[in-house]
């Protein structure tokens, strides 16, 4: 049985003042559907939010400090559902705590240097690092995939910070993030 933790439960889904898409709720539903996963720990800066999430989705323990959760729970898998500027710090903390797999919300990180550091630390620790890019089936992203498969080395797109490269093992993957305004 995989021991799962979620960092960033957010406000109760669709409650007054809630923002975003409540991705932690989607992660929890996915883990609940997996017969070999058990949601054992939740971390959120607001304990009321974490407890409301726990009532809805389960989870054995609630923490206000994700580092305390990582130190105490011996987690196999962690989902990170927080603001992007926190992703690198949290992914690296998970890898350093011995978490076997981290599934992080997009975007990967605010800077290319942070993204490279995340990948390097995870590779060194043997942590599998994945990202939630549910737009991968959209037409612009399928077109980018097709260009990469055809041998393109670079993809240019409009917007700022649209081209990022990340080394994953021996493969150099280049992808474009298309910003919608």
Q: Taking the model in full, what pTM does it have?
A: 0.74
> Would the pLDDT of 153 be above 80?
no
Residue 119 binned pLDDT confidence (cut-offs 50, 70, 90): very high
Residue 47 to residue 8: CA distance in whole angstroms: 11
Q: Cα angle vertex 137, ends 131, 140, to 5°? A: 100
Residue length of the chain: 181
pLDDT at position 44, please? 97
- Interval 37-55: pLDDT, tens: 999 999 999 999 999 999 9
Reported in sequence order, the residue ranges of the chain that DSSP labels E, i.e. its strands, are 2-7, 37-43, 61-63, 77-80, 101-105, 128-132, 163-168, 171-176
Map residue 163 onto helix, strand or coil: strand
Q: Which domains, from first to last, does the chain contain?
A: 2-132 (3.40.50.720), 135-181 (no CATH)
Cβ proximity of 64 and 76 under 8 Å: no
Residue 152 binned pLDDT confidence (cut-offs 50, 70, 90): confident
Q: Which of 175, 180, 134 has its CA nearest to residue 156?
A: 175
- Alpha carbon distances (Å) from 63 to 31, 45, 92, 97: 19, 8, 19, 16
Map residue 86 onto helix, strand or coil: helix
């Amino acid at each position: 049985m995989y021991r799962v933790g979620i960092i960033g439960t957010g406000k109760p889904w669709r409650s007054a003042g809630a923002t975003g898409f409540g991705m932690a709720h989607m992660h929890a539903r996915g883990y609940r559907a997996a017969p070999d996963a058990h949601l054992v720990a939740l971390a959120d800066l607001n304990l009321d939010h974490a407890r409301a999430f726990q009532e809805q989705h389960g989870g054995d323990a609630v923490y206000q400090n994700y580092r305390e959760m990582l130190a105490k729970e011996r987690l196999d898998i962690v989902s990170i559902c927080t603001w992007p500027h926190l992703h690198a710090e949290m992914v690296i903390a998970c890898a350093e705590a011995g978490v076997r797999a981290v599934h992080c919300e997009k975007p990967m990180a605010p800077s290319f240097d942070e993204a490279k550091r995340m990948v390097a630390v995870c590779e060194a620790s043997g942590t599998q690092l994945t990202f939630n890019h549910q737009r991968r089936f959209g037409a612009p992203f399928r077109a980018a995939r097709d260009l990469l498969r055809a041998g393109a080395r670079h993809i240019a797109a409009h917007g700022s910070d649209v081209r990022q490269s990340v080394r994953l093992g021996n493969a150099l993957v280049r992808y474009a993030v298309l910003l919608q305004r």
